[in-house]
Structure 1
Amino acid sequence: MYAPAVSEDKITGRPFYRSKGFELLVLIVVGVVVAAGVRAYLLQTFYIPSGSMENTLLLNDKVLVNKVLYRFRDPHRGEVVVFEPPASWGAGPGEQEYIKRIIGVGGDHVICCDPQNRLTVNGQALDENYLFPGDTPSDDKFDVTVPDGRIFVMGDHRSDSADSRAHLDSDQGTVPVGRIAGRAFAIYWPVSRWSALSVPSTFDKVP
């Protein structure tokens, strides 16, 4: 004759708040709260919806974005950032976020192009080996001095990127630093593309 099934709580006489089931529930709740806090204040994930950053970032890649970095320091040239475009770019508030590479920061003089068809920043030519194969640095010519508190951004797939060059008539195409959501620092999906998004060494030479 089989004894009827009895819950562990009834066998041990432990109240529910001390049971394994309750402990698991608490762990789940704490995990959700921590994850929500991390997403809101520390890290966020974004997927790539277009080819404007190829081949650095491919369509549907997913990236990790550091949301707190720029609370402690200014953005640097060469970093890949996620930002909300200015209203003058034609996107409504919160409608869409862009991901581009910072070419110039406040005070920088960015020119396209020198006699060798290279971008220059503060007179230093950039060796942009991260560009999409076959692309030139830019088909559009420009001469921009980036205002303080703003950045000048471009996609790595220059022929398929609506970036600062497309909005030169409004604040010289620059983006307020306050609109940056954070720095994209790694590709985490798909697994085959795990990699860090480091700053190209050519930016180290810019004075």
Structure 2
Amino acid sequence: MAWIREIAIILGVAIVLSFLIKTFLFKAFYIPSESMVPTLEENDRIFVNLFVPRNFPLQRGEVVVFRDTKGWLPEAPQTAANPVQEVLEFVGLLPDTSQQHLIKRVIGLPGDHVVCCDASQHITVNGAALNEPYVNHAETPRVVPFDVTVPANSIWVMGDNRNHSSDSRYHNSVQPGSGFVSLSDVEGQAAVIAWPLNRIRSLDSYPDTFKDVPAPK
């Protein structure tokens, strides 16, 4: 029947468009943890801008999603495969729930000297102290001392929920040098909270926090 053919064509076009958007423009992800509270809540769905850093450079303060290629995440428990869900995730109609990605905020770019902490317990980047309004102030952040220079083609990332984030600080303290994230592992910049509806908003990169940071020496 003609109406069945028309519906099939519409569905086919929608799937192709969704796949192209997911491949070249934006990709949806699911937030499985509390490491970015209050910026992101557990179970939020977000859209990630794939142009960054593929076509545009990362900036300090941006929130990024990156692949876990260094074993930061615990081994995920084996669950029965859901073929329908896997297909919908592949074409971009459902957010990625593979739990093989992490999301953190960029604090240091290649060449940056990042230190915790100064006399006022502020993190410094290239000597400039950061006032970080995005940090979860419901708890006093535990001080985890570090003094690192970010290598080329890498970034230093931290969660906004500092007491509940196994980020660059944690992995560097476990094994020095293992806290850096390769730029090649970055999927993109988290741009928008898309779900739930009462939390829809764009994500701030807080440029004022980093405006006084000098270029690395």
The TM tier, using the shorter chain, reads 0.7 to 0.9
Q: Which runs of 5+ in 2 are unaligned?
A: 76-97
Which of 1 and 2 has higher RCO (CA within 8 Å, sep 6+)? 2
Equivalent residue number for residue 110 of structure 1 = 114
Q: Distance in 2 between matches of 1:85 and 1:20?
A: 45
Correspondence for 1:101 = 105
Please provide the CA RMSD for this pair: 2.0
Question: What per-residue deviation string (whole Å, max 9, x for no partner) do you get for residues 2-24 of structure 1?
Answer: xxxxxxxxxxxxxx7xx454333
Residues 33-182 of structure 1 aligned to structure 2 (within 5 Å): 33-89=16-72, 96-136=100-140, 138-168=142-172, 169-171=175-177, 173-182=179-188
How far, CA to CA, are the matches of 1:158 and 1:117 in structure 2? 13
Q: Give 1:89 deviation, angstroms.
A: 2.9
The amino acid of 2:203's aligned partner reads L
1:136 to partner: Cα distance: 4.4
Moved more, 159-168 or 27-36: 27-36
Deviation at 1:69, TM superposition (A): 2.4
Aligned to 2:89: none
When structure 1 is superposed on structure 2, of 145-154 and 35-44 the one drifting more is 35-44
The sequence identity of aligned pairs, in percent, is 42
Q: What does residue 85 of structure 2 align with?
A: none
- The list of structure 1 runs, each at least 4 consecutive aligned residues, that deviate by more than 6 angstroms after superposition, is none
Q: Secondary structure at the match of 1:89?
A: coil
Q: Which stretch of the first structure deviates more once superposed, 59-68 or 136-145?
A: 136-145
- Check whether the contact 1:85–1:91 (CA below 8 A) recurs between aligned residues: no
CA distance in 2 between counterparts of 1:187 and 1:116 reads: 33
1:12 matched residue in structure 2: none
CA-CA distance at 1:67 after TM superposition: 1.5
- Contact 1:119–1:137 (8 Å) recurs in 2: no
Contact 2:73 2:100 in 1 (8 A): no
CA distance in 2, matches of 1:187, 1:79: 14
Provide the C-alpha distance between the structure 1 equivalents of 2:3 and 2:59, rounded to a whole number of angstroms: 49
C-alpha deviations, 1:130-157, integer Å up to 9, x for none?
1112444552100010001000000000
Question: Which AA in structure 2 matches 1:57?
Answer: L
Cα distance in 2 for partners of 1:175, 1:134 equals 28
Corresponding residue for 1:198?
Answer: 204
Farther off after superposition, 196-205 or 46-55: 196-205
1:98 aligns to what SS in structure 2? Answer: strand
Partner residue in 1 for 2:95: none
Letter in 1 for 2:212: K
TM-score under structure 2 length normalisation? 0.81
Q: 1:88 to 1:45 in 2, by over 3 A?
A: closer
Q: Where does structure 1 lack aligned partners over 5 or more consecutive residues? A: 1-15
Give the deviation of 1:90 after TM superposition: 5.5
Change (3 A) 1:137 1:126: farther
Partners in 1 of 2:109 and 2:125 — Cα distance?
Answer: 10
Moved more, 41-50 or 157-166: 41-50
Contact 1:76 1:102 in 2 (8 A): yes
